[in-house]
Every structure is written in C-alpha cells, then in structure tokens.
A and B are shown apart, each in its own frame.
Chain A
C-alpha cells in the first residue's frame, strides 16, 4: 500500500495540517507548530 494524503490535527494546540499516511510504514508524528506528539489522523469524510 502506498502513502496517501491525509489531514492531521494536533490535539495539544489544535493546529491542522496536511501530511501523508502509509499504514505499512508508520512514521512518528510531531506537530510542526507546538512539537507535541498528540497528532491525530482525522478520519476521511464519508462520501454521500
């Protein structure tokens, strides 16, 4: 599986940013704004 673009949200400072996610090659996440690791991969919006 290849990396796909996803939206991340820092649960420490609330900063949202775009990044890539590869389930086979999980990388450490760090908020570019506050350096916290509480970075959540936001779920994809469901298609109607």
Chain B
C-alpha cells in the first residue's frame, strides 16, 4: 500500500466514496466524494499529540472493539496516507468550553474543524472494482453462545488477540480472566455450507486454511496449548496448503470431524462445555475448553447493491458480483470497461485476490494501450421515424446504453454502440417497433417462425432459446444423446429478453399449439438482468391470452442453463405431452381470434374499420 501511495502514476484517494459513474468504456465520468478528514493529511506528522489529549474514547473498530480509540485517531498502523483523521460524530468540537484540545496541541496546525467534503470529477477509461467483503455475524447461531459467553470469540477477534500489533500486544489472553487459555477449540463453517436457512450455502474458501494457520501460530507462540478443530471437511486445496495442514496435525492439533450442537458455559470457571458427535467414531463426545473460536464465513459487502447500481453489475444467487464468463472472462464485468477483482467476485484468499487483481490490471491495460475497443455487431439501432419518445427503451436497458428521449424537446433516444451488449430487450419492449436489433431483426425472427410453422404447424414445438444458456442446454442434451421429441424447433435469440410479444402471438396465429420461451436462470443472465424483463413480459402475455380466451398454459417459460441438458430434454418431453392435449378446435379458435385482433389493429392504424 505504501508503494501505491508513493507511485508517481497512481493517485490514491483514500477516505473517499464514489458517488456516481456515468459514460461507457473509454469515457467513464466518475464523481467522487472526498470526505472531510478535519486533519491536513499533507502536514500531519503523526506525532500523536492530538490523540493523547483527546478526552473521547470509543471502541476501536480495527481492534474488533477489544480496545478503545480517540475521536482523533490513526485508523490502523500502516494507514496510507499516514495521517490522523477526526471522527466528527464523536468529537466534542471546537467549542473552547467543550474541547478543542487537539487543535491547541497540534504544532503544525493541521486540525481544521471547518473542513468540508469535497466533490471531484475524474475521467477514466476503465474501472476496476475491488470492494472486498464482509464477515458473517455468528450471533444467528444461538447454540454457540457468541456474545452470551465472553469466551466465545470469532476468528477475526482471535486474529487481533494474537497479533503483536493487537490490543494486548500479542499476549494471547481470554476475555474473562485475562489468562492465557490452555485449551482452545475452533468451530469451522460458521455461516458457511448450510442448508437450514441460517448462514449461507456456499463454502467461504478461506476459513479452513485460516484456522490451520491460527493453530500453527498457537503452537508456535504457546507450546503446550491444546487446540481442537471441529470440522465437517478440511478443504486444504492449493499450493502448500496440504503440507500446512499436515504440519498442524504433527504439532498435536486435534481435528475432530463433527460440528458441535451445543455450547454451555461453566458459571464457576467460565470454561465452555461442547457437545459434539464425532462422525468418524460415531460417538457423542464432550469437550471442556477455555476458549472457543468461531471460524466465521465470508459474505458479500452490505453496500454491494449500491456498487451494482453504480457500475451496472449483476450478482449471483449468493450475492457476489457476477463475472462476464466464469471460465473465459473471469475478471471482466458484463459492462464493457469494468473489471472486478478480489472478494467482491467470490470468497478468496490473498494469493487468489492478488492473482485476480493482476489479471484485472492486465485486462484494463490492454484496453488503455489500444486506445480503442472492438464491439460486437449485434447492437440496437433506433428508427427515428417510428420513435414516439416514450423512453421505455432506456428504462429496460441494463447497461444504461440508451440515452433517454425527451418528448418536450423532441430529443430522440441514442444508443451508445460501445455500451450496447446486444441483448435486444429494448427492441422487444418498444411498442412502436422503432428499434432494430442488428442480426436479430423482427423480420428475421418472424421469418423463422413462419418457416417452422409453414407445414403441419400443429405438430411442432416452437421454442425460443437464448444463445448462452438454453440453446447450449439443447446442445448439451444432444451431445449427451438424451432422448427428446424430434418435433421441437428452436429459434435462437441472444437473450430471452429479445422475445417480443408479437413473435409469440404470430406463432399462435399461424397455428402453433405450444410455444416455449426459455432463457438463462436469473443468476446466470449474461445481460445483467435482461431476463427480468422476460418474466415481466410473460406475465403480460399470459394475461393477454386469458383475455382473448386462449389457454395461457399453451405458452410455457423455462430457465435452462447450458449444463442442464437433462432439464432441456425433460422440458421438451413435458411440452410434447401438453401438445397432444391441444385440440384442433383450440388452434382454429386461436388463429381466428388473433387474425381478428390483427385486423382490428390494422384498422385502428388506418383510421377505418374493415368488415
């Protein structure tokens, strides 16, 4: 961090927050709020006199609340820039009667109570987001007694207690009696790998090795201390990690396969009694410990939603930011020119974070050095003659790639070609058909519908499949030699969000007995959240079919991922069953009703009613 702070080509804006990000790849305009420090960071020599005289004491967040800090404080020892900061929420202020002591003692006159937040705008070509993670709060696990029993601590608190720069100067003591604990237990997977509604279903990746490291630290600093680790699996993959795990075992650390079900404190000794089923021996065991460490999992940051909105990112079902492609573009965000690194993408250790950050920097430098970027030809263009300035296109665009229209000033919407990802949701939503989706135009898709239903339409299963997931799911079903009806006909669109209402209605009008719209699962959507619009549109379509007296269940919706070949085949078989239940009378009625609808629409447009 010091190197970054000193680097001539890096401008470090600490204690700052990004307020907004506008623009697109190569032309981002970022608004930053530089928060008031109330201390001149350039003049501050971190002499510490201000902190010495400050009468305020509040819990020190960095030390996990084990010690206190003053209202004017150094956030942590290696803070860059090396400067004190004044916590105005707790400061007694510059009222000479109330306080003002820090300003009095500061020889360099660094304290400025009137300092204000500063807004700044910077132009950047690319953005790398690395906003980190939060840790799981284990109070949800009531049976472990965290916060009820003082001697139950978290792995983060353990870290501070054993650290030489911690509140006890590295003297490892337990909170109740300030004595060095002689037996310490670690419970793994607190808040991770759960399926019971508490915690999270994913593995937090770092906790196993963190505990192995902690046990080695204990054995090194306090030989003779008994350490027990309660686990369901030890995941020691990675270079040198298995060796570290073996070393920990050799040092005498006991690894017990089983997660404790109950922790009770002995009121006399404050020792903790654990009840655990050892799944290796199948026996119920009781363990008495001086201190218990909960190995808490990793969770996405609380402000992830804010960051997602700022950078038009999407997240997976576990809440972490989704990459553009998990294998081929793991550090690219779906928004061009935005890269992601570290634990905001998924839980990972320092090595993986550094690797990903280096990759993100390299990817960013490719763009910056090229000075220009290649874009896909599949983008939207607006037909100015048809547009009626409704603004729906810019509202549905997940990428903010369409500059909004304004009816009053007759300002037409503009598609930023460099930002458009080509999902086609705008083209599907436009009520005026004023948007042309290049390579997936209305005419092209309608022509495919017509070709499929030209002969024996009542025999065909018409399916709209998105390019990335459902179509690939169909491929998977084929390559896996799975049996599914031969009469299914697929129309590929880049995203299910491209499936316009009129495509579906046109298919029914031409005699399709069943229509299936399929796309990516919400968590896999390759166009941030374009798939949300598919679902909303389907609700509208089902309502419309109902109004017209057409069975809504003749239009089906399924989310099929690229790996779900089995599901694809199953869905197609189910569609075939449904198809056989559709009578010719129903099809004829549908065709008649929809043709009538079309006639009415045409008459309305033409201003006259045809008989």
Give residues in A with beta carbon < 8 Å to B: 11-12, 14, 26-29, 36-41, 43
Contact = CB atoms under 8 A, between A and B. Distances in A.
Given A36-B558, A38-B558, A12 B536 contact: no
A42 B34 CA distance: 48
A14 B556 CA distance: 12
B573 interface: no
Interface of B: 521-523, 529, 532, 535-536, 538-539, 542-543, 552-553, 555-559, 574
Contacts of B529: 26
Most buried by A among B543, B553, B555: B553
Contacts of B556: 11-12, 36, 38
A14 B535 CA distance: 18
B521 A28 contact: yes
Nearest to B560: A37
Contact of A11 (B536, B543, B552): B552
Contacts of B535: 26, 28-29
A26 B539 contact: no
19 contacts: A11-B542, A11-B555, A11-B556, A11-B557, A12-B553, A12-B556, A12-B574, A14-B553, A26-B529, A26-B532, A26-B535, A26-B536, A28-B523, A36-B556, A37-B558, A37-B559, A40-B542, A40-B552, A41-B539
B536 A37 contact: no
Nearest to A35: B567
A43 B542 CA distance: 10
Nearest to B554: A11
Given A11-B552, A12-B553, A28-B559, A40 B539 contact: yes
Contacts of A37: 557-559
Contacts of A41: 539
Contacts of A28: 521-523, 535, 559
A37 B522 CA distance: 11
A36 B567 CA distance: 10
Contact of B557 (A14, A27, A38): A38
Contacts of A11: 542, 552-553, 555-557
Contacts, number: 40
A37 B296 CA distance: 35
Contact of B522 (A27, A36, A43): A27
Q: State the 3 A-B residue pairs at the shortest beta-carbon distance, nearest first.
A: A11-B553, A28-B522, A26-B532
Nearest to B516: A38
Nearest to B543: A43
Nearest to A14: B553
A11 B542 CA distance: 10
B201 to A, nearest CB: 16
A10 B536 CA distance: 15
Nearest to B521: A28
Nearest to B542: A40
A39 B539 CA distance: 9
A12 B581 CA distance: 13
A9 to B, nearest CB: 9
A37 B521 CA distance: 10
Contacts of A39: 557
Most buried by A among B532, B542, B574: B542
A41 B536 CA distance: 9
A41 B539 CA distance: 6
A46 B529 CA distance: 31
Contacts of B521: 28
A42 to B, nearest CB: 9
Contacts of B559: 28, 37
A38 B379 CA distance: 29
A37 B543 CA distance: 17
Nearest to B557: A38
Contacts of B539: 40-41
Contacts of A14: 553
B544 to A, nearest CB: 11
Given A11-B557, A38-B557, A41-B539, 18 more contacts: A11-B542, A11-B552, A11-B553, A11-B555, A12-B553, A26-B522, A26-B535, A26-B536, A28-B535, A28-B559, A36-B558, A36-B574, A37-B558, A37-B559, A38-B553, A38-B555, A38-B556, A43-B543
B74 to A, nearest CB: 40
A3 B538 CA distance: 19
Nearest to B539: A41
A9 B538 CA distance: 13
B191 to A, nearest CB: 22
A44 to B, nearest CB: 11
A37 B558 CA distance: 5
Nearest to A28: B522
Contacts of B543: 43
A20 B101 CA distance: 55
A43 B372 CA distance: 49
A1 to B, nearest CB: 14
